[in-house]
Amino acid sequence: MNSKYIILLGPPGAGKGTQAKILNGRFQMAHVASGDLFRENIAKQTALGTLAKSFMDKGELVPDDVTVQMVMERIAQPDCAQGVVFDGFPRTEAQAHALDRALAGARKKIGAVLWVNVHDHVLVARLSARWICPTDGAVYNLETNPPQVAGKCDKDGSALTQRDDDKPGAVRRRLEVFQAQTKPLLEYYRRANLVHEIQGEQAIERVQADIVRIVEAL
């Protein structure tokens, strides 16, 4: 059986997390989101969490060495053996090289890189309207996908919160960091003939259908 290792590459707010969760429910693919792993460490008040938070709050990337080590430990878990959807990783060329090496060592490789393309003004609007449930991680958008009761999670009633890095100053910096450090990965993966472009401004279901078609063909 082909194992499916795919990367969702796109700016913050492109919908990578939403699409990754759908793929995770539909295929035997673990969802590996470096941002979620950092947020779990922050919630548990680990040393890694404290370090990561100092970068995340400013919208900067966490250094490659700690990020790579954390993700490598995650993909060594048994649920990653049949496939993984990477969400928010890799974000630098050094991370991409580290991932290639780790997969090659396990006789695996990336099957596709899905470039989720969304204009900056749409990203800013989405990120500033994004509220999350701190308990189950559910994501709401006050404009397009509001909770049934204002400020409360539909599933467990927890008070919704806004990510610190979804506040305006950090959002601007995250978009700059994406352009400078992550977008060059597009060329890296284009050279390997792995890139499929997805129009990320379509409705969630349309984006999903485009992605599923590619993943099914792997």
Q: How is residue 116 written in tokens?
A: 């989720």
Q: Does 88 bind ligand AMP (CB under 6 A)?
A: yes
Q: Could you give the CA distance from residue 8 to residue 116 in angstroms, rounded to a whole number?
A: 7
* 91 flagged as catalytic: yes
Q: Which 89-148 positions form the footprint of ligand AMP (CB under 6 A)?
A: 89-91, 95
Q: Which 58-87 positions form the footprint of ligand AMP (CB under 6 A)?
A: 59-62, 67
Residues 6+ apart with CB under 8 A from 101: none
* 190 flagged as catalytic: no
Please tell me which residue in 16, 39, 74, 126 is annotated as part of the active site. Answer: 16
- Selected from 15, 35, 83, 147, the binder of ligand AMP by CB under 6 A is 35
Q: Could you give the CA distance from residue 156 to residue 135 in angstroms, rounded to a whole number?
A: 8
Minimum gap (Å) between residue 135 Cβ and ligand AMP? 17
* 107 flagged as catalytic: no
- Selected from 165, 194, 200, 208, the binder of ligand AMP by CB under 6 A is 165
Minimum gap (Å) between residue 127 Cβ and ligand AMP? 9
Q: Which is nearer to ligand AMP, 36 or 154 (CB)?
A: 36
Q: Which helix (H) or strand (E) holds 175?
A: helix 168-177
Minimum gap (Å) between residue 115 Cβ and ligand AMP? 16
Q: Could you give the CA distance from residue 10 to residue 132 in angstroms, rounded to a whole number?
A: 20
Nearest one of 157, 156, 120, 162 to 142, comparing CA atoms: 162
Minimum gap (Å) between residue 68 Cβ and ligand AMP? 8
Q: Does 38 bind ligand AMP (CB under 6 A)?
A: yes
- Selected from 27, 55, 103, 204, the binder of ligand AMP by CB under 6 A is 55
Q: Which 177-216 positions form the footprint of ligand AMP (CB under 6 A)?
A: none
- CB of 34 within 8 A of CB of 85? no
Q: Could you give the CA distance from residue 212 to residue 215 in angstroms, rounded to a whole number?
A: 5
* 44 flagged as catalytic: no
- CB of 66 within 8 A of CB of 92? no
Q: Could you give the CA distance from residue 154 to residue 144 in angstroms, rounded to a whole number?
A: 15
- CB of 10 within 8 A of CB of 211? no
- Per CB under 6 A, residues contacting ligand AMP are 12, 34-35, 38, 55-56, 59-62, 67, 88-91, 95, 165, 174
Q: Report, as residue numbers or ranges, the catalytic residues.
A: 16, 91, 130, 163, 174
